[in-house]
A and B are shown apart, each in its own frame.
Chain A
Amino acid sequence: DVKVTQSSRYLVKRTGEKVFLECVQDMDHENMFWYRQDPGLGLRLIYFSYDVKMKEKGDIPEGYSVSREKKERFSLILESASTNQTSMYLCASSPERGGLQDTQYFGPGTRLTVL
């Protein structure tokens, strides 16, 4: 089974702090994704990566950055956390770059609260 793990289930940070959310997948997948989930808005894509050191902006990249130094690990960084970044953050991975294997596999999520 594909396993996607996220470093924390719950996180509480203060406004202005730098926040790191880590995601690791164990199936040698090419693609990794970061979403945020808010009530009534579904999932919105923040950033994705299709290869080591490669990244592309999603629909709502403002206020976020990402890092992919190793194939299995994809980090989401909030440079200076703000209260409007309080949300559930979901990481996902999928097998092939540009291929037909488009099913995404999700981690359990990190619920981030910014005070």
Chain B
Amino acid sequence: GDSVTQMEGPVTLSEEAFLTINCTYTATGYPSLFWYVQYPGEGLQLLLKATKADDKGSNKGFEATYRKETTSFHLEKGSVQVSDSAVYFCALSGVPGSARQLTFGSGTQLTVLP
């Protein structure tokens, strides 16, 4: 079945450091790929998505490129801020059917220190 493997955390960085959170997946067909972010005490928010190979999703300075050849969707940001401290989830969508389910990775806790 479908699965998502995320880099284990927690990750601690200093402000303005470069961020990479690795995500690889196993899926049938051609799923959409997502990064969601969860700030403390809140639900998940969509950060970015990509729907086909070589697409790049971007938002708030974060980027991720859909790499079919390596089945990866790594999240990057050039300069993190304290306000980026959150849990980040990689996810993929299932095949079209009654409802397209999402399969999530286990999440990566990011802490950015001033």
Q: Which residues of A are in contact with B by a Cβ distance under 8 Å?
A: 4, 30-31, 33, 40-43, 45, 48-50, 54, 56, 58, 90, 92, 94, 97-100, 102-109
Contacts and interface: CB of A to CB of B under 8 A. Distances in A.
Interface stretch (B69-77, B78-86, B102-110): B102-110
Interface of B: 32, 34, 36, 41-46, 49, 51, 89, 93, 96-102, 104-107
Contacts of B105: 42
A50 B99 contact: yes
Contact of B106 (A31, A42, A100): A42
Contact of A98 (B43, B46, B100): B100
Nearest to A111: B41
Given A42-B106, A42-B107, A106 B93 contact: no
Residue of B45, B100, B106 contacting most chain A CB atoms (<10 Å): B100
